[in-house]
Amino acid sequence: MAEVAIREDAGEGSLSSEVERLRAALEDQGRVAEEKERQLERYAADLRETFKAERARTDELHASYVDTVRALTNAVEARDAYTSKHAERVAAYGLELTRNIDPELALDPQVEFGFLLHDVGKVAIPDVILFKAEPLIPEERDLMRRHAMIGYDIVSHVPFLGEAAKIVRHHHEHWDGSGYPDGLAGEEIPRLARIFAVVDALDAMTTKRPYSDEIPLARARAEIAAKSGTQFDPDVVVELEKLSDDTLEQIKASIT
Ligand SMILES: [Fe+2]
């Protein structure tokens, strides 16, 4: 019996030391797990900070892109008292129309950049042609028309302007292929350039220019509708008809 008791004692002893060892091992594992959790929390906090800083840098970069585009636009428009704010107005009309046609597309900043910069190539057109009240002679007209390609050459070298370059190049193409510079027709013309062409005409007709007086909105709408399928994309003309007079007049009144 004594031997058994000793063995039992010994058994209990080794059992409790085993429990002790296991408890210690568990505590160690617990400490390791806690440390890992703290590391993960630090890592997550670092990631949040990095993301926040990255976001701030992106916002800053975008703001400087917008400022650069506006500075370029203003440099072109500063020459011309008549078309002053034309780019800003036409960009606002264009964005409103694009939102109605494809809301996703309107969120891309390059769309607004293209609308604002459409006539940037006019920096290279002499004042005597740009401000001529009489009709242009063929040589002058050819020179004037070069502003689309000159603008494209300026803008296409700036990577952040991307799609904007296509608007600049193709904003004078006609649906029936009779426009310039490439004589593209129908859906060969980039969609944003087709949208832009309609609002460009709308603003040109509803504001005073060296070569023409402004006409009422209803007449401008009628002129555009009459050129649906020849100068303008018929689907875009239909979308313009859906924009109310109020919406268009509010945009015009908000940009002075
Ligand atoms: Fe133009």
192 and 114 Cβ atoms separated by less than 8 Å: yes
pLDDT at 10: 52
Determine if the pTM surpasses 0.75: yes
Q: Ligand 1 centroid to 145 CA: how many Å?
A: 8
Residue with tokens 């350039």: 193
The parts of the chain modelled with pLDDT lower than 70 are 1-12, 81-84, 210
* Residue 70: predicted pLDDT: 87
pLDDT tens track for 79-133: 776 666 889 999 999 999 999 999 999 999 999 999 999 999 999 999 899 888 8
Burial class from Cβ neighbours inside 10 Å (0-12, 13-18, 19+) for residue 181 reads middle
Supply the pLDDT for residue 82.
Answer: 60
Give residue 245 CA to ligand 1 midpoint distance, Å.
24
64, containing H or E segment: helix 2-77
CA of 64 to the centre of ligand 1 (A): 25
pLDDT reported for residue 4: 45
Average pLDDT, the chain: 90
pLDDT of residue 1: 45
